A and B are shown apart, each in its own frame.
Chain A
Amino acid sequence: MTRPARLLRRSLQVRHVDAGSCNGCESEIAALLNPVYDAQRYGIDIVASPRHADVLTVSGPVTRQMREALQTTAAAVGEPRTVVSVGDCAAGRCPFAGSYAAGSGVDGVLPSDLHIPGCPPSPSAILEALRGLMR
């Protein structure tokens, strides 16, 4: 696994791409920034540009229409980068995976380094997984 965070133990900059989620995973990732989870206190932040990111999180099964946008965004993240797939859809485990439009998960489009299971994974689970990258 590429772990840029080993170099940057106190700072993890995350860029997120929704590749066809139901918005449940987005809602839980967004919750990391509320005062309850407050990921920033651990040095984790969500950044506006992939150019600023160490980690790319991806949710959804990677729809046919999002495939290229995801690849372009990933290519814009500087190396070394870590790709984290968030939620069961991103692992191809959703009822519509394999349909004419849905795609079948992040693997096969991008090699991912870590998967956070759940539908959706709780904000604590996401936070724990991201903090794990910093240890």
Chain B
Amino acid sequence: MSAALCVTRLDAEALHATVAQRIGSEYRHLTTVVADDRDTNGGFRLDHVFYRPGQPGLELLRVHLSGNRPEIPSLVPLLPAVHWDEREAHDLFGVVPLGHPDPRRLVLPDNWPNELYPLRKDVPWDIQPPKSKGQDWSPLVAEGEGVVRIPVGPVHAGIIESGHFAFSTMGESVLHLDLRLFWKHRGIEKTLEGLHWSDAGTTVERTCACCSASHQAALAEAIEQLVEWEIPPRGAYLRTILLECERLYNHINDIAAIPAGASYAVASMEGTVLKERMLRLQGELFGHRYLFGTIRPGGVCRDLTTADIDRLRQELQQIRPLVERLGQRLLRHPGFMDRAQGTGVLSPSTARDLGAVGPSARASSVGWDLRKDRPTLAYHDLAPEVVTESAGDVLSRLRVRLREAVVSFALLDHLLVRLPHGPITTHAPEGAEEAHGIGVGCNESPRGANVHYLELRQGRIWRYRIRSASFANWPLLAEAVPGNLIGDFPLINKSFELCYACCDR
């Protein structure tokens, strides 16, 4: 186990008190992972991973759950952010969260048999159980005279990822929204099991195209931490450049998508052109429009020549004023402002309690950003300003992205000017091939904290869990929508702009 991780072993009774103590001491929850250890110690392992801003190390609060029918009192009353993690652990491992306020199925398909837990080691990766009644997923709805239910999806009207929304409405107002996601669950984590760590990249980067660099960087960090692998300064800077390019094109995408949700087509089209320009630039300089195959453990896959650096700087210098102009166009448009202001409010306390991350948290005064709170790579040298807004509405989420885009432009220019000389990658340290143990990689993806938990046995993956920013943030949407007009849903949804693929895996 590397020095970066500290494991605190607890029994189930002590867990609540310890978590309460950690939350009281400003620790923040990163991820919750269950693993099947029945072969070595007759039970399951539950790790709640925490970090404390300003400290590089992570703490794993570990509970051993013995036997084949593990149960543990739900942590949700104390730490609501784990409500989906616990439901997922129930679906995939059969770990029952006692007293969970909403124990419905979350991840598995509707026609999946009950009590078949696909991430247990005795269930084959390619099992195709016949259709079964499974657990009936019924939406939580509002009831009463005049309440109308509107089911939407999984197939949507536009080119949108698949997911289901169950609205309860009264007239034009939404009373309640329930989500059924995980239509795109592909079993990525189980697919990774058994692979050597050096072969994991092509799978991990396909978790989500829009957050691909972030996923690759989290995988790389987990391995580098586990085997104590120091990456060269140029590699660290180039990796930071990739992460910031990813943030920038995603923010531009979102800045374009928000006016689309308000039927302001001209502004939206202007934004899509800028996104295309970023994607082309990435394709040209990094070899892939969505940055697949750019980051691997030990460094990065491709260097930038001096000419590339000039080209990237010049292009970014040209794109920057265009993004700023688009921002001005939106903020000065009375019709757009009328739609965006006061719409889809997420209160700071809800954001904090539910563990919101990324721009959606920062737009509700929750100034969490792993680039500052737990800096890695070049963020040690160049900590970016953390942007916050306080109203928590569509406009605030737009403003955060506009301001963060400006910060990223400046950061990228600094990184490109100060790019250290030297190699872009190094060889793995001795023994890495056969490495054994746990590593946790996390970074601030465009949508917030992206956390990868990796466990190796003799160099091969035993357990992998991805807790993406979208997994953390989807439940917030259900909090921000009620009380608004149903017609404002696309706008509110786009202001969160969450990935389904990242969440569903």
Contacts and interface: CB of A to CB of B under 8 A. Distances in A.
A63 B126 contact: no
B103 interface: no
A20 B184 contact: yes
B183 A120 contact: no
B61 interface: no
A60 to B, nearest CB: 7
Interface string B41-79: 000000000000000000000000000000000000000
Interface in B167-221: 182-188, 190-191, 202-203, 206-210, 212
Interface in B136-171: 154-155, 157-162
A65 B185 contact: yes
Given A46-B158, A69-B155, A20 B289 contact: no
A19 interface: yes
Contact of B112 (A64, A98, A102): A64
Given A16-B159, A17-B155, A30-B159, A60 B109 contact: no
A95 B208 contact: no
Interface residues of B, number: 49
B499 A49 contact: no
B110 interface: yes
Interface in A6-45: 16-24, 26-31, 33-36
Contact of B269 (A20, A34, A63, A102): A34
B359 interface: no
A10 B182 CA distance: 38
Contacts of A22: 206-209, 212, 501
A89 B188 CA distance: 13
Given A31-B276, A69-B155, A95 B109 contact: no
18 contacts: A18-B184, A21-B161, A21-B501, A23-B208, A26-B161, A34-B276, A35-B272, A49-B157, A63-B183, A63-B186, A64-B112, A65-B110, A66-B162, A95-B191, A95-B206, A100-B123, A100-B124, A101-B185
Given A66-B183, A101-B185, 15 more contacts: A18-B184, A20-B184, A21-B184, A24-B206, A24-B209, A24-B212, A35-B269, A36-B273, A48-B157, A49-B157, A65-B182, A99-B187, A100-B190, A101-B108, A122-B289
